[in-house]
Chains A and B, each alone.
Chain A
Amino acid sequence: MPKYTLSVNDKTMAVEADADTPLLWILRDHLNLVGTKFGCGIAQCGACTVHMNGNAVRSCMIPVSAAATNKIVTIEGLNATGDHPLQQAWEELDVSQCGYCQAGQLMAAAALLKRKPNPSDEEIDAMMTNICRCGTHVRIRKAIHLAAQKLA
């Protein structure tokens, strides 16, 4: 099997896997970083969102062969102590219900705030396209606004 060297959360990691293996399963099954979640496998739901070179991407449709040369950040690496302003806001507003989609939501929101430090509701609508089946949307929106205030 081909070998790949990946940069994940500022660490260099070596894996041996078929070239078509999605980054999602490399993270979960090979590197034991299970915070990135499987939801649909077709880049529809966003539960598997990670950052690749600073952009939010859906890792279920990126083959390891395409991910290998890029800088990957997962939920485990969003912030070493778990107190990114978004994580603080998520905790303060008690956003989660089942919690399963929230890692992907946080990674999508972190990429949004990098591009738009103080996003409008319309910008949140446009950039936050992940599915939440529990319906935490109102709290997610409020948490993004709260994190933007913390960053200001």
Chain B
Amino acid sequence: MLLSFSLFNQRVEAKSPDNSVFAPNVYIKINTDGTIVLQAPNPEIGQGVKTSLPIIIAEELCVDWKKVQVELAPLNSKFGGQMAGGSGSVRGRFAELRTIGATAREMLVTAAAQTWSVPQQECTAEDGLVVHKASGKKLSYGELASKAATLEVPSNPKLKDPKDFKFIGTRIKDVDTHKIITGEPLYGIDTRREGMLFAMVARPPAYGKILGSVDDAATLKVNGVKKVIKLKNSVAVLATSTWAAKKGRDALVIQWNTTEKLENTSEHFASFKEMLEKGASSPARNDGDVDAVKQNASKVLDVMYELPALSHGQMEPLNFFADVRNGKAELFGPTQVPDQLKGDVSKQLGIKPEDITVSVPRQGGGFGRKLMTDNGVEAALISAAAQSPVQVQWTREDDMQNDFYRPAEMYRYRAALSANELLSWHQSGVGIGRGIWGDSYVAGALKNYRAESQGFTSNTPTGWWRAPGACTMAFVAESFMDEVCTELKKDPVAFRLELFRKAKQEPVGRIMYDPDKYKSVVELVAEMCNWGTTPPGVYRGFATWFSFGSYAAQVVEVKMVNGKPKIMKVFCAVNCGRVINLSGAENQVQGAIVDGICHAMFPKITFVDGAVAETNFHTYKFLRMKDAPLDIEVKFVDSDEAPTGLGEPALPPVAAALANAIYAATGNRIRKMPFAEQLG
């Protein structure tokens, strides 16, 4: 997933038409009363970009952060690609937003210099003031706003020297913290509009079934129900409250007709196994000869790993507000891709893009679910049919049973070993819709390496799930690496460092990672936990992974209590280039670690005759406080390089680090998720 990136200069607006506001571009407004309003251009789904993106602007603008108000930007092409995905917001916008802030700062300095008739280079900007040191004169940005608004927008403003950064790299609290802890309306689900109806939708109960006959007699008798609307493959009930809509929806009598095969997870895995045993004819990557080298091997490892499908389970169940009347559409709700939603609504409802507005509230989690636009499009269709503003609310059951799931996957890993050396690595994966990437390490560090990938066709829907690909493959590859280390009696940290040394000094084929950056996190985490000196009764597992431009290495410490792992501490070192907001960055890393542990341990989605067997959190289980690590220590490798991804990269390695710790404690090698089922 790549973010679109447009050049900032194309988005710089001409002079502000209104001299009471200085708005040199769509991101910044400085009012004559001194208030500063910054736009956060990308959707906020819990990854912290409503805070971190404005920090970058504020840094170059040289303002007092306490005086900054932040708004989530509505969809507007002047903001370029407005998407939340691929850990791309900060890395995609760092350079652009610095220039955005510097542009405005330079204009304010020019305005002051002209006011005082002094050379511009004698004036400096700090904390929302322009200062002329020689004369001691000062003017606030508010006082300068009207004059600055009359100036030409500079095309090439000078950026700050990073050693002068005041905000970037410090700990700054989430801008919505106070609203969150006092329960103010913030989320799509909190939308309340004049004349709005609440809607719930009956959707097919299984993949492979479609809408047949509908009897709404009982529904129309429910207090508060106003309308029943039949869509192409679902039925919406509109009412005066969420509960009335739900009661009405549940009272529908619908005949669902089976038109396709009703699939089962058990059959998926049986097919995966067959495909893996057969092998793929054309590899994704093939270095040397993994089969020939087996002749020299003293041992060949050959094992299978299995991962279930997963739901996204973001805490805010899907919802969306739409008002589609008179050929115009107003859309407001949770989406990671507002631009895509606009296009999809335009296409499906035949409304011109210029007649569609999309705004995005803070969102109760994303994790990739809302890279699909189904919730927004559905709300628009219902509003258009009802000719009424409507909020469509999904129940948790609706959300869990109508997801775009992380696909189930199965892997076969093989390695040929001599007495003390890894001779070859042969990985083969199969998943619904897609397989595995072939270029992650150990590719490049071994003479004999082969990666095979096979896709399985299914009518069960799949989608992006936090750290797609990496989140499953890292578990398998780094668990298998631990198996190799165990067989060879090698220290897991030293062995990885040796592989990265080989990848750097004697690279085989293309290298799609930076061995030195891998080394930087492995060495840092080893130092953090004082690797080699385990506390008594505690067992450790190690893993490392590169994804979304960043490197993470982790050590998980467990104690076994009644056969279950109690996670005492997780150490994590990250190399993600320059850190913008230390508090937010650390929160993302800690959160990704807990997320990775949660999904390694507990939940799974099972298809039975096309239906999702797990309906809610009583059967689709999540980690609770008692299962979470007692402590997570995070360190970032000092870096002057541009920021790389951070919403996802700390998730992939942790499942393997945990499984490796459980192996160290028990000798039980877990090759299947969810782990809780394997631990009895």
Contacts and interface: CB of A to CB of B under 8 A. Distances in A.
Pairing of A with B: yes
Interface of A: 1, 17-18, 21-22, 25, 28-30, 32-42, 44-45, 47, 74-76, 78, 82, 87, 90-91, 94, 96-103, 106, 121, 124-126, 128-141
Nearest to A99: B180
B453 interface: no
Given A25-B243, A132-B315, A94 B616 contact: no
Given A32-B192, A40-B396, A41-B396, A135 B593 contact: yes
B673 to A, nearest CB: 17
Interface residues of chain A: helix, strand, loop or mixed (majority): loop
Contact of B243 (A21, A101, A102, A128): A21
Nearest to A107: B183
B562 to A, nearest CB: 14
A44 B629 contact: no
A59 to B, nearest CB: 12
B625 A91 contact: no
B270 interface: no
B625 A42 contact: no
B591 to A, nearest CB: 4
B316 A82 contact: no
A96 B177 contact: yes
B642 interface: no
B364 A99 contact: yes
A136 B315 CA distance: 13
A44 B618 contact: yes
For the side of the interface on B, what is the size category? 35 or more
Contacts of A99: 46, 174, 176-177, 180, 186, 362, 364
Nearest to B241: A29
B314 A139 contact: no
A122 to B, nearest CB: 9
A101 B629 CA distance: 19
Nearest to A121: B630
30 contacts: A17-B243, A21-B241, A29-B198, A32-B192, A37-B187, A37-B189, A38-B189, A38-B393, A41-B395, A44-B616, A47-B315, A75-B183, A82-B178, A91-B178, A94-B171, A94-B587, A96-B174, A97-B46, A97-B587, A97-B591, A98-B45, A98-B46, A99-B177, A99-B186, A100-B187, A101-B364, A129-B625, A133-B622, A134-B365, A137-B623
Nearest to A34: B190
Given A98-B316, A98-B363, A29 B243 contact: yes
Sort A-B residue pairs by CB-CB distance and give the 5 closest, nearest first.
A35-B183, A135-B594, A98-B46, A100-B364, A75-B183
A76 B183 contact: yes
Contact of A98 (B242, B313, B364, B598): B364
B243 A133 contact: no
B233 interface: no
Given A21-B243, A94-B173, A128-B624, 17 more contacts: A25-B243, A34-B189, A38-B393, A39-B316, A41-B395, A90-B177, A97-B587, A98-B363, A98-B364, A99-B174, A100-B46, A128-B625, A133-B367, A133-B595, A135-B595, A136-B594, A137-B628
A76 B180 CA distance: 10
A138 B624 contact: no
Contacts of A21: 241, 243
Contacts of A130: 624-625
